[in-house]
Amino acid sequence: MNEGAWPPLPLADWKETYRTLHMWTQMVGKLQLALTPRTNHWWNVALHMTARGLTTTPMPVGPDVFTVAFDFVDHVLRIEVSRGDRREIPLAPQPVAHFYERLMANLRALGIEARIWPMPVEVPGPVRFDRDPSGAYDPDSARRCWRILFEADAVMNEFRARFIGKCSPVHFFWGGFDLAVTRFSGRLALPREGPAFMREAYSHEVISAGFWPGSGAVPESAFYAYAAPEPEGYRECRMQPAAARYNDDMKIFILPYEAVRTANDPERTLTSFLESTYDHGARLAKWNRTALER
């Protein structure tokens, strides 16, 4: 077992830091929402892994572009403009409202005008960024979370590479604070009720998988997988590894992170979960696998 690559991350030990990071990533993600062209399934708003943390894609600012990146090695938020300007904000304990003010002030100082809705999304009891007094931050917990995302990203990209149909990048959605990859059958799905981002996300048949630190009905870090729409008999399937279970509240398969972290071969264990949840879903939904897989 390699604790450096797959470190422990009990939710109870870092839930306040988790909440702070969730708010910070939402602020940065909302910049992409405001400043980049909308792509299918809102892929333009997602963050992406780097060798030091998470980053936006390049965003236009006049004749230049800029990026905003979380560095969980030096623990700074780094704003870089293609003309050579750079600003940094320390990632340290501070009120969410203070961090929001510093982010917007630094953007203005760089000549970047961006208006974002300061209300968090996809969280219970949201508090506006500019009014949120909470702000715990433990750098070791943040680094551990990033390290898990880093390792999961590598396994999920290898899984993604074996599919030749339409497939999302492996990317980080700041709304749910999860790293995800989604395969598509190529067929339209029945229209889905709910907010616009949900209707767009599930406009076509998908089988999706990812990782998130847990919340609500799953109070622990976990990998997840689901098919949407869910084919008949999917929830009764026996997935690999044996620790994988169907969660009736969320209607997804869950594999506790601890089952991966403590396995003799974490990468193979995670791969077996990704492959089995896809295999059963694609079989039951009668996807054209000959055309979609290598």
Q: What is the pLDDT of residues 39-92, one digit of tens each?
A: 999 999 999 999 999 999 999 999 999 999 999 999 999 999 999 999 999 999
* pLDDT value at residue 158: 98
Say if CB 66 and CB 112 are below 8 A apart: yes
Q: Do 166 and 235 share a domain, yes or no?
A: yes
* pLDDT value at residue 3: 57
Q: Do 53 and 83 share a domain, yes or no?
A: yes
Q: Do 153 and 247 share a domain, yes or no?
A: yes
Residue 3 in any domain: the answer is no
Residue 139 in any domain: the answer is no
pLDDT digits (tens, 9 = 90+) for 229-287: 999 999 999 999 999 999 999 999 999 999 999 999 999 999 999 999 999 999 999 99
Look up the domain containing 38 and give its range.
11-131
Neighbours of 159 (CB within 10 A): 20
Q: Do 266 and 156 share a domain, yes or no?
A: yes
Residue 87 in any domain: the answer is yes
Q: Do 176 and 74 share a domain, yes or no?
A: no
| For range 80-109, the mean pLDDT | 98
Q: Do 70 and 102 share a domain, yes or no?
A: yes
Residue 143 in any domain: the answer is no
> Could you tell me where the DSSP H helices lie in the chain?
11-35, 96-109, 139-161, 196-201, 257-261, 266-284, 289-292
- Please give the model's pTM, rounded to 2 decimal places: 0.95
Final residue in a domain of this structure, among 131, 166, 186? 131
Q: Which of 126-130, 168-172, 189-193, 283-287 has the lowest mean pLDDT?
A: 189-193
Total number of domains in the chain: 2
Residue 116 in any domain: the answer is yes
Q: Is 62 left (phi over 0), alpha (psi -120 to 50) or beta?
A: left
Final residue in a domain of this structure, among 131, 157, 182? 131
Residue 5 in any domain: the answer is no
Whole-number percent of the chain with pLDDT over 70: 99
* pLDDT value at residue 191: 85
Residue 228 in any domain: the answer is yes
Closest among 225, 220, 136, 234 to 179, alpha carbons compared: 225
* pLDDT value at residue 132: 98
* pLDDT value at residue 194: 80
**Is 167 a residue whose pLDDT tops 50?**
yes
Cα separation of 242 and 250, whole Å? Answer: 19
Q: Do 177 and 279 share a domain, yes or no?
A: yes
* pLDDT value at residue 152: 98
Residue 40 in any domain: the answer is yes
**Is 197 a residue whose pLDDT tops 80?**
no
pLDDT digits (tens, 9 = 90+) for 198-222: 888 889 999 999 999 998 889 999 9
Q: Do 94 and 152 share a domain, yes or no?
A: no
CA separation (Å) from 42 to 38, 39, 196, 202, 258? 6, 5, 10, 11, 31
**Is 26 a residue whose pLDDT tops 50?**
yes
Q: Do 22 and 127 share a domain, yes or no?
A: yes
Say how far residue 285 (Cα) sits from the centre of its chain: 26
Give me the sign of the Cα torsion angle 108, 110, 111, 114: negative
Average pLDDT, the chain: 96
| For range 104-119, the mean pLDDT | 96
Q: Do 204 and 279 share a domain, yes or no?
A: yes
* pLDDT value at residue 1: 45
Q: Do 170 and 278 share a domain, yes or no?
A: yes
Q: Do 43 and 123 share a domain, yes or no?
A: yes
